[in-house]
């Protein structure tokens, strides 16, 4: 087991692989929660500041439009005043100059009164029209303020003419050269397992130790879509893609359920349903990577030790495999040699038996030859002719001896 030295008390103790995993989990969770809380407070402050700025801008625009409308109304009132003065002047002139034409003057007065009524009616219409236009513009401003509030709930940057995936890719590439020099962020094009995510993020230390990996899924939905999807509809497939591609975290970047305050409030942890999974709005895309990355950086040393232990275990496993392979081959060769050796022993035993038999036969033949030799040594003329008088006579004649002299002696037959 590997040994770890406590940085506080200096005590050295041993832990197994599961112990290392617990240490990694404790370090990562504590740092992650701390960083997450700080980032959340910062985002809330930015949100409040931007909302305050939007309200101030809207109020300023409202005051500007109101001032313009008041100026137009004042101008109309001034025109009405001038018209009244002209009417009164005309009436005065008519009375003073044409007293003898009271009928015509009265007619003119009536005409002028009618014109004055028309002017007043027109002024009232224009005033009402201006008020209606003001109310319409005010309503439009209110709708615009509401739109920007909703837009802020969805994203902190404009995405006009961009898809959600393209937006996230652009946001990442803006920081790639400065903040993510050793990171990998590309589309997931491997669909050999039947499905794939949208993007995969991986980052390693300069010496090649990977300390974080994230599977991203981006989901956008137009306002005119007939069937509204929910974020939960995509979590199971995202978890499957994360496991198949060997990623540690899974993040759903979503514009679905635009009115759901749960998802509009910030980063949503759904680890109670699927491990290490989060749902965020697009404005939290870069902060989410930063939070997970900073938390993982604190455990790089532990990950490096775990990687070394894993490599050592792999070396031991390979060594054991080599030994087992050698044992198997040696056992096979031993069994093959043993079989051949046994056959050779059996052949030698057969040969020995054959030689023993041959030896026995040779010994038997030797005894027979000895007996034959003994008999040959004991063979004499007398023995040959003792039962053959004719031959005895012949031998006697040859030796010129009487026949009785060459009679064979009575001897025991051998």
Residue 122 shares a structural domain with residue 169: no
Q: How far is CA 115 from the centre of its chain?
A: 82
Long-range contact list for 220-225, CB < 8 A, 24+ apart? 220/163, 220/164, 220/254, 220/255, 220/256, 221/255, 221/256
Residue entry with tokens 């050295």:
12
Tell me which of 154, 170, 203 is where a domain ends: 154
Residue 186 counted as domain residue:
yes
Residue 339 domain flag: no
Q: How many Cβ atoms are within 10 Å of 142's Cβ, its own excluded? A: 12
Task: Starting at the earlier edge strand, list the strands of the sheet with 249-254.
Answer: 183-187, 199-204, 210-219, 249-254, 277-280, 268-269
pTM exceeds 0.85:
no
The answer on 134 and 252 residing in a single domain is no
Q: What is the DSSP letter of 409?
A: P
Q: Which domain holds residue 283?
A: 160-298
**Contact by Cβ (8 Å): 195, 237:** yes
401 Rama class: left (phi>0) / alpha (psi -120 to 50) / beta: beta
Residue 315: inside a domain, yes or no? no
pLDDT tens for 171-226 read 999 988 888 888 899 988 877 766 777 899 999 888 777 889 999 999 887 644 55
Of the pLDDT bands very low, low, confident and very high (cuts 50, 70, 90), residue 267 is: very high
Q: How many domains does the chain have?
A: 2
247 belongs to a structural domain: yes
Residues 75 and 146 in one domain: yes
Range with the poorest average pLDDT among 67-81, 251-265, 387-401? 387-401
CA distance 365 to 375: 15
Both 235 and 139 in one domain: the answer is no
Confidence at residue 148, expressed as pLDDT on a 0 to 100 scale: 55
Tell me if 115 is assigned to some domain: yes
Query: Are 293 and 192 within one domain?
Result: yes
Based on the fold, state whether residues 226 and 292 are members of the same structural domain.
yes
> How many residues are given for the chain?
414
- Same domain? 62 vs 177: no
Out of 110, 126, 154, pick the residue that ends a domain.
Answer: 154
Q: Are 301 and 7 in contact (CB under 8 A)?
A: no
203/273 same-domain check: yes
Q: Which residues pair with 184 in a beta bridge?
A: 202
Q: Give the alpha-carbon dihedral of 126, 129, 131, 132, to 10 degrees.
A: 180
State whether 239 and 188 are in the same domain.
yes
Looking at the fold, whether 207 and 78 belong to one and the same domain comes out as no
Mean pLDDT of 241-267: 91
In this structure, are residues 393 and 400 in contact, taking their beta carbons and an 8 Å threshold? Answer: no
The answer to whether residue 402 sits within a structural domain is: no
Angle at the Cα of 167 from the Cα atoms of 164 and 169, rounded to 5 degrees = 110
Burial of 326 (0-12, 13-18, 19+ CB in 10 A): exposed
Structural domain includes residue 399: no
Q: Are residues 203 and 165 in the same domain?
A: yes
Question: Is the per-residue pLDDT at 3 higher than 70?
Answer: no
Q: What is the CATH number of the domain that holds 186?
A: 3.40.1350
Q: For residue 78, is it within any domain?
A: yes
Q: Which long-range contacts (CB under 8 A, 24 or more apart) does 131-139 make?
A: 131/69, 133/69, 134/65, 134/66, 134/69, 137/65, 138/62, 138/65
Same domain, 147 and 173: no
Token digits for 229? Answer: 């999807």
- Of 112, 135, 154, the position where a domain reaches its end is 154
Q: What's the pLDDT at 281?
A: 92
If you average pLDDT over residues 405-412, what whole number do you get?
46
Q: Which has more pLDDT, 100 or 261?
A: 261
Task: Spell out the residues 6+ positions from residue 9 whose beta carbon is closer than 8 angstroms to its own.
Answer: none
Residue 154 and residue 282 in contact, taking contact as beta carbons nearer than 8 Å: yes
Gap between the Cα atoms of 331 and 325, Å rounded: 10
Q: How confident is the model at residue 326 (pLDDT cuts 50, 70, 90)?
A: low
């Amino acid at each position: 087991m590997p040994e770890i030295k406590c940085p506080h008390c200096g005590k050295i103790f041993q832990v197994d692989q599961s112990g290392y995993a617990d240490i990694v989990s404790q370090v990562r969770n504590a740092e992650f929660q701390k960083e997450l809380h700080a980032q959340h407070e910062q985002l809330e402050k930015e949100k409040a500041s931007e909302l305050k700025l939007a309200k101030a801008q809207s109020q300023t625009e409202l005051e500007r439009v109101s001032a313009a409308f008041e100026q137009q109304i004042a101008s109309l009132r001034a025109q009405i005043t001038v018209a009244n003065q002209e009417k009164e002047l005309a009436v005065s002139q008519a009375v003073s100059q044409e007293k003898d034409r009271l009928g015509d003057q009265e007619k003119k007065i009536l005409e002028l009164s009618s014109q004055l009524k028309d002017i007043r009616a027109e002024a009232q219409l224009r005033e009402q029209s201006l008020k209606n236009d003001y109310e319409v513009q005010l309503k439009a401003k209110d709708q615009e303020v509401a739109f920007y509030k909703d837009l802020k709930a969805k994203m902190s940057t404009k995405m006009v003419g961009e898809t959600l995936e393209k937006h996230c890719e652009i946001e990442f590439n803006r920081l790639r050269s400065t903040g993510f020099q050793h990171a990998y962020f590309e589309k997931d094009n491997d669909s050999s397992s039947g499905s794939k995510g949208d993007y995969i993020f991986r980052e390693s230390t300069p010496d090649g130790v990977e300390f974080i990996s994230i599977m991203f899924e981006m989901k956008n939905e137009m306002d005119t879509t007939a069937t509204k999807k929910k974020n939960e509809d995509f979590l199971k497939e995202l978890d499957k893609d994360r496991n198949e591609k060997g990623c540690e975290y899974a993040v759903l970047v979503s514009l679905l359920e635009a009115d759901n305050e749960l998802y509009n409030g910030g980063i949503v942890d759904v680890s109670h349903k699927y491990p290490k999974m989060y749902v965020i709005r697009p404005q939290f895309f870069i902060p989410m990577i930063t939070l997970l990355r900073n938390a993982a950086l604190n455990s790089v040393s532990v990950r490096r030790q775990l990687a070394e232990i894993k490599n050592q275990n792999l070396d031991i496993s390979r060594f054991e495999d080599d030994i087992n392979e050698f044992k198997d081959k040696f056992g096979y060769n031993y069994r093959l040699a043993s079989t051949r050796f046994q056959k050779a022993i059996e052949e030698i035993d057969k040969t020995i038996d054959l030689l023993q038999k041959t030896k026995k036969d040779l010994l038997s033949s030797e005894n027979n030859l000895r007996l034959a030799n003994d008999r040959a040594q004991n063979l004499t003329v007398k023995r040959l002719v003792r039962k053959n008088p004719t031959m005895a006579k012949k031998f006697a004649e040859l030796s010129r001896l009487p026949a009785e002299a060459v009679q064979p002696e009575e001897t025991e037959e051998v």
